[in-house]
Amino acid sequence: MAVIDISPYSGDHCESTALLNMLRNHEIELSEPLLFGLGRGLSFLYWHSKQMPAPFLAGRVKPDHLMRNAADALALGLRTQETASRARAEATLLQALDEGDVVGLKLDRHHLDYAQEDHHFAAHYVACIGYEDDRFVVVETRALGVQSTSRESMARARAARGPMSSRNLSVRIDPHGYDPSRLAKACQTSVLATAQEFLNPPITNMGFKGIAKAAALMRTWPDRLGNTGEAMRIVGASMEEGGTGGGLFRTLWARFLEEAHELTGIEAYDAISVEYRRISDRWTEVANLLRDAGEDGARQALQQAAVIVDSLAGEERAAMARLEEVSR
């Protein structure tokens, strides 16, 4: 079989990129920022277990949730399948591709032929758009574009275990419920839900409380981490280069608010999009401080970064409170 005839899109974030290509195959053209916002993608989580070499500052909702939320907002059917059988997983994928569907796959990219990173992350998404001979063709994010990988490597990647992994998860969409006239209302509903979740986090590691907690804990990293400079580099690179679109996903959110303003006519969305672009720049400043510090300058850089992050907790809380107010 040849590759499905779409114009592949390589975006900033893996899950929104996969969903956009799935929609494009059904001639539904929506931007990545719009899908990110409809997926209620913006969030915050500070996470550091004993097994992790460095803390993790996440700026988005948990894997899988963005796609589910966006599908609900757009009234799309989402057909997911998980199986422990590698053979059944491949057979299902081949059948879907033969039927002309672009398929979202959750996997660990480390196992794929073209991977260059040395770490494992089993909650990455790609859009599979076809197969040729013994290779699958997939759409990655912007840095990688369209790639191909062997069936053997694909089987390993899809079956990989680890935090937030799934068992050979594949996703297809049914577009028949989609109605573009509902986009404006969907934007408003998604903004409200995102703001409420951010302002009322279930634990103190999340939302605006998580940002404030991160600021406090960052100051203690030199006394808690074995190689502080290397840990800071990992955190900073993840914040800026780990499929976030820059500024810990805040740039994607700002771009979504601009589109939401155009669709809904709610003027406050436009003003707050400007505020979130400024907030995004501040998160980029934090990321740069962390990854450029080195071991000798770690303590001073962390103090500077912590001051900014502490301020951002209040600034994002105020911006989200305003979004909650105008979206009711």
45/61 Cα distance (integer angstroms): 8
> Higher-confidence residue: 255 or 229?
255
- Of 85, 97, 317, residue with least CA distance to 309: 317
- How long a stretch of residues is the chain? 328
- Six-digit token string for 41: 């993608």
pLDDT at 52: 80
Q: How would residue 252 be classed by pLDDT, with cut points 50, 70 and 90?
A: very high
pLDDT (tens digit per residue) in 197-239: 999 999 999 999 999 999 999 999 998 888 899 999 999 999 9
Q: How would residue 117 be classed by pLDDT, with cut points 50, 70 and 90?
A: confident
Residue 51 pLDDT more than 80? no
**pTM of the predicted protein model:** 0.96
Residue 1 pLDDT more than 70? no
- Six-digit token string for 243: 């499929």
Q: If you average pLDDT over residues 122-137, what whole number do you get?
A: 96
What would the 3-class secondary structure string for the chain be? CCCCCCCCCCCCCHHHHHHHHHHHCCCCCCCHHHHHHHCCCEEEEEECCCCCCCCEEEEECCCCHHHHHHHHHCCCEEEEECCCCHHHHHHHHHHHHHCCCCEEEEECHHHCCCCCCCCCCCCEEEEEEEEECCEEEEECCCCCCEEEEEHHHHHHHHHCCCCCCCCCCEEEEEHHHCCHHHHHHHHHHHHHHHHHHHHCCCCCCEHHHHHHHHHHHHCCHHHHCCCHHHHHHHHHHHHHHCCCCCCCCHHHHHHHHHHHHHHHCCHHHHHHHHHHHHHHHHHHHHHHHHHHCCCCCHHHHHHHHHHHHHHHHHHHHHHHHHHHHHHC
Residues whose CB is less than 8 angstroms from the CB of residue 133 and which lie 6 or more positions away in sequence, other chains included: none
pLDDT (tens digit per residue) in 278-324: 999 999 999 999 998 877 888 999 999 999 999 999 999 999 999 99
pLDDT at 64: 96
pLDDT (tens digit per residue) in 103-116: 999 999 999 999 98
pLDDT at 116: 87
Which residue is associated with the tokens 């990647």?
A: 157
Q: What average pLDDT is seen over the chain?
A: 95
Label residue 114 left, alpha or beta by phi (over 0 means left) and psi (-120 to 50 means alpha): alpha
Task: Name the class of domain 14-30+77-177.
Answer: alpha beta
Task: Provide, rounded to the nearest whole percent, the portion of the chain with pLDDT above 70.
Answer: 100
Residues whose CB is less than 8 angstroms from the CB of residue 188 and which lie 6 or more positions away in sequence, other chains included: 260, 264, 266, 327
> Higher-confidence residue: 183 or 50?
183
- Six-digit token string for 135: 């290779």
Residue 133 pLDDT more than 90? no
Domain residue ranges in the chain: 14-30+77-177, 180-327
pLDDT (tens digit per residue) in 2-45: 788 999 999 999 999 999 999 999 999 999 999 999 999 999 99
Q: If you average pLDDT over residues 231-258, what whole number do you get?
A: 96
Residues whose CB is less than 8 angstroms from the CB of residue 58 and which lie 6 or more positions away in sequence, other chains included: 43, 44, 45, 46, 47
Give the bridge partners for 135, in sequence order.
132, 150
Q: Do 69 and 190 meet the contact criterion of CB atoms below 8 Å apart?
A: yes
Q: How would residue 80 be classed by pLDDT, with cut points 50, 70 and 90?
A: very high
190/39 Cα distance (integer angstroms): 7
Q: How would residue 57 be classed by pLDDT, with cut points 50, 70 and 90?
A: very high
φ, ψ for residue 98 (rounded to 5)?
A: -65, -30
